[in-house]
Structure 1
């Protein structure tokens, strides 16, 4: 569907076709009508469980409503509930000064970092760090805003002295995944954890017997379920919004933890490599 019809009107659409839906679809639709504020924070799996429906039923409902998928429906649903300004950041006000806006956004990021720390899975984090430290090759997959995080992984982790590449193009992700080996690691980043291209590439990587580490904002996302090691970054203001501002920074913070943790696992080798990099870069300075 086009962008002019994607925002808003979701609840009205549901009511308009309610009688034309199957009983299973009606059950899901009625749940959305009664719990719209909660639904925009749910994954498709969570909605299916809460509405006592199947994920396939939710997806069919989205299609009948004219949406390309569940995420498209959530964006439209948010348009019914929030103003366009709130869809960027729910706390900002038109009368806020730039300093006040900065304070609100920074506080949201700080809260998200603290939330992430509270739900941190220590054993999973330790396993991810050990896996990265022992990897022979690291490939990072990310689309859209998450491509920036994948690129940051390439920029940082190349100092480990092993092949590291970031892939944003779906075809290149699949090519990369098909050529992986059991000693290789994929770090897949997706705010929603429901990006079809990323999921397809990760499935291919697993078929190649590589270890998959996921970084998402949802504990029960499809990507979290398929990954060998799942890490989560929580951001309060971006559970459904396309901007996903805070989650991007929180996911970058998780990458920093992985980087420093892996560095400490093999300090002598990694520090020697970093020193070589510094010396090489120093020659380029005036």
Structure 2
């Protein structure tokens, strides 16, 4: 996908992989010509992208907009001044100070993108499901497995059994033993891992609830999940998009954790005090 750093429309990036070839031409055209696009009619856009007016209309709706005008409004609000055009790319001649500035800025931009992508009614629903769960299982591979381990380490403080699984056989076994009272948090950058999808399908057959954390809102995982929370990092040369998104996904987990600590405040505070007391005793022995 061609990327113009002045365009800040996260939904374009999170939906790109699931667009048709004709729709991708429209997305690429927007990224390369945002100012021109805003001034054009449906006919103009169809002609410029060698597509049809129906395809342009379908493209807008696939992104979640009622029509072209709504897409233009969202695009206009996300166009930044062009003085940051080269800010995202890391060069071999960059100093560590400059590299750090670029990486940190991209993390910040990714977090701001995620604020635009998140549906906070879904966040509330996810927190409610987790707070009522009898068991929580976290599934993920690779970089996503580290996020799942973080979920296991922190969510156990709510007094709910929680386990992270990064092995496909263990995921299958876990999924086969879940029921309607249990919740899976499935973490995947692309949302297309075959083994993860199979684990989720097994869990769904047993009526477990599925919360997906992914970078692509229309991914295969999203279509299986009861709730999808989408967050996407910015691409930087010498640093993969998946690595950037890992930090964004951790931030989403932080949001769920904070929501849980509020919803289960009394028991959470009680458990934290117990935990700190035991840890303090261990430090003194």
> Fold match, TM over 0.5?
yes
Instruction: Please tell me whether the aligned partners of residues 43 and 221 of structure 1 are also in contact (alpha carbons under 8 angstroms).
Output: no
Question: Structure 1 residues 185, 49: closer, same or farther in 2, change over 3 A?
Answer: farther
Q: Identify the match of residue 2 of structure 2 among 33, 37, 46.
A: 37
Kindly indicate whether the alpha-carbon contact (under 8 Å) linking 1:184 and 1:210 is maintained by their aligned counterparts in 2: yes
Give 1:139's aligned residue: 137
Q: CA deviation at 1:37?
A: 3.5
Q: Tell me which residue corresponds to 2:209.
A: 211
**TM-score of the two chains, using structure 1 as the length reference:** 0.70
Gap change, CA 1:48 and 1:198, over 3 Å in 2:
farther
Q: Distance in 1 between matches of 2:241 and 2:228?
A: 23
How many Å apart are 1:254 and its aligned residue? 0.4
Q: How does 1:103-142 map to 2 (within 5 A)?
A: 103-142=101-140
| Aligned pair partner of 1:162 in 155, 160, 178 | 160
CA distance 1:51–1:37, shift in 2 (3 Å): closer
What TM-score do you get using the length of structure 2 for normalisation? 0.70
Q: Sort the Cα spacing of 1:129 and 1:48 in 2 relative to 1 into closer, same or farther, 3 A.
A: farther
The answer to whether the Cα contact below 8 Å between 1:46 and 1:220 also exists between their aligned partners in 2 is no
Structure 2 counterpart of 1:71: none
Shift of 1:173: 0.5
Change (3 A) 1:90 1:107: closer
Question: 1:47 Cα deviation (Å)?
Answer: 3.8
| d(CA) in 1 for partners of 2:117, 2:211 | 17
CA RMSD for the aligned pairs?
A: 2.4
In 1, are the aligned partners of 2:139 and 2:185 still within 8 Å (CA)? yes
| Deviation, structure 1 residue 198 | 0.8
Shift of 1:225: 1.1
> Structure 1 residues 121 and 40, CA, compared in 2 at 3 Å: closer, same or farther?
closer
Query: Relative to structure 1, is the Cα distance of residues 267 and 237 closer, same or farther in structure 2, using a 3 angstrom cutoff?
Result: same
| Contact 1:142-1:150 at 8 Å conserved across structures | yes
Could you tell me whether the CA contact under 8 Å between 2:157 and 2:272 is conserved in 1?
yes
Match of 2:230 in 1: 232
Unaligned runs of 5+ in 1: 1-35, 53-88
In 2: Cα distance, 1:106 partner to 1:246 partner: 10
Q: Match for residue 46 of structure 1?
A: 19
Match of 1:31 in 2: none
Task: Determine if contact 2:14/2:215 at 8 Å carries over to the other structure.
Answer: no
Q: Distance between the aligned counterparts of 1:46 and 1:284, measured in 2?
A: 55
- Map of 2:192 onto structure 1: 194
Task: Give the Cα–Cα distance (whole angstroms) in 1 for the partners of residues 13 and 107 of structure 2.
Answer: 20
Cα pair 2:88 2:106 within 8 Å, conserved: no
Q: What is the deviation of 1:266? A: 1.4
| In 2, Cα distance between equivalents of 1:273 and 1:207 | 33
Judge conservation of contact 2:14–2:217 (CA < 8 Å) in 1: no
- Which residue matches 2:252? 254
Distance 1:143 1:48 in 2: 29
Contact 1:145 1:248 (8 Å CA) reproduced = yes
Structure 2 counterpart of 1:183:
181
